[in-house]
Amino acid sequence: MRPQTVSTPGWYDTRMPPSVSLSAPALAAPGFLLAPGRPAIPAQPACGCRSKAAAISATILTKNSAARLDEVLRALSWCDEVLVLDTGSTDETIRIAGRHPNASIHRLDGPFPGFGRAHGRAVALARNDWILSVDSDEIVSSALAEEISGIRLDPNTVYSIPFHNYFGGRLITTCGWYPETHERLFNRTATSFCASEVHERVQTHGLKQERLRNPVGHYSYGSLGDFLRKMQFYSQLFADQHAGSRRSSAAKAVTRSTWAFFKSYCLQRGCLQGREGLIISAYKAQTVFWKYLLLEEANMDLCR
């Protein structure tokens, strides 16, 4: 399938209409860093479990996502459409996506606008109003596909989904990674993603919320290198988002990172999960440390 090259508006509406202009400068998504295929993947749903109640578009942001993408897309074969928004992959991402008949492939160029706006752009490009937002390292379980297909979706309800997070092939049940849910299924005529550069989420104000029972498998970290690369990326996004509006200092970086480690390793029982718990807790602390130092640097640059 030949990907469409599209551009995006210079503004962002959190309730994006189905029809959008494609004439302004384009936006890009980040280079997602995906874990290699270590954990066992849940059984994939058959194409026959398409929802009778509503046509659903799954949306995915990709860049160099070949490591998991085939598994991710096979798990979405029941969706009416999978909107793949790619931003300059140099690996096999586009070729892999093109093998899936329900995949609609689009490309964006230009600087990354932040996760919220990038997700909002994917939502606007989708064919259907019902949106299931999935990252390129997240695999929808067959049980979740059947659950979604068996319910009558309410446009005034945002549906949250349980997440099972894995590191190095092991399900993580400590460090604040479990239990975890995210709002990922919604009707775009009622809501969409907020415009945050990082820690984006679907807006739920004034809407009902319902929690689904079955999980998504999240395979974001497979090696120490994944932690290091994502630490740099997310820390810089945090600094860019809050420069000029939030104070920071080296002392704040130290105190907040120390608290982050103590919370994850002790209060959230990372100490009970061996090596994985220690690594995840240290990763959380280091991310906090560097994001506040980068924010301090960004604030100083604005004052020069």
DSSP readout, 205-221? TTSEEEE-SSPEEEEEE
The reply to whether 97 and 151 lie within a common domain is yes
Give Cα separations from 58 to 55, 79, 118, 188, 284 (angstroms). Answer: 10, 7, 14, 12, 30
The reply to whether 197 and 123 lie within a common domain is yes
Considering its fold, how many domains does the chain have in total?
2
Cα separation, 137 vs 297, in Å, equals: 32
The reply to whether 45 and 177 lie within a common domain is yes
- Range from 116-120, 196-200, 258-262, 299-303 that averages highest in pLDDT: 258-262
pLDDT > 70? residue 39 = no
Last residue of some domain: 220, 235, 269?
220
The reply to whether 205 and 271 lie within a common domain is no
The reply to whether 174 and 277 lie within a common domain is no
The reply to whether 12 and 148 lie within a common domain is yes
Go through 135-148 and write b for each residue having 16 or more CB atoms within 10 A of its CB, e for each that does not: bbbbbbbbebbebb
Could you read off the pLDDT of 122-180 as tens digits, one per residue? 999 999 999 999 999 999 999 999 999 999 999 999 999 999 999 988 999 999 999 99
Which pLDDT belongs to residue 25? Answer: 31
Which pLDDT belongs to residue 246? Answer: 94
The reply to whether 244 and 287 lie within a common domain is yes
CATH of the domain at 214: 3.90.550.10
Cα separation, 65 vs 88, in Å, equals: 11
Average pLDDT over residues 249-260: 98
Residue 213, domain extent: 4-220
Average pLDDT over residues 260-266: 98
Q: State which amino acid sits at residue 131.
A: I
Q: How confident is the model at residue 28 (pLDDT cuts 50, 70, 90)?
A: very low
- For the chain, the average pLDDT equals 85
The reply to whether 144 and 264 lie within a common domain is no
Last residue of some domain: 162, 195, 220?
220
Cα separation, 165 vs 141, in Å, equals: 13
Last residue of some domain: 202, 220, 238?
220
Q: How confident is the model at residue 2 (pLDDT cuts 50, 70, 90)?
A: low
pLDDT > 80? residue 37 = no
Average pLDDT over residues 104-118: 85
pLDDT > 50? residue 237 = yes
The reply to whether 178 and 284 lie within a common domain is no
pLDDT > 50? residue 26 = no
The answer to whether residues 163 and 180 touch, using CB atoms and an 8 Å cutoff, is yes
The reply to whether 216 and 137 lie within a common domain is yes
The reply to whether 109 and 250 lie within a common domain is no
Exposure of 282 by Cβ count < 10 A (0-12 exposed, 13-18 middle, 19+ buried)?
middle
pTM: 0.79
The reply to whether 191 and 123 lie within a common domain is yes
Which residue is associated with the tokens 């066992």?
40
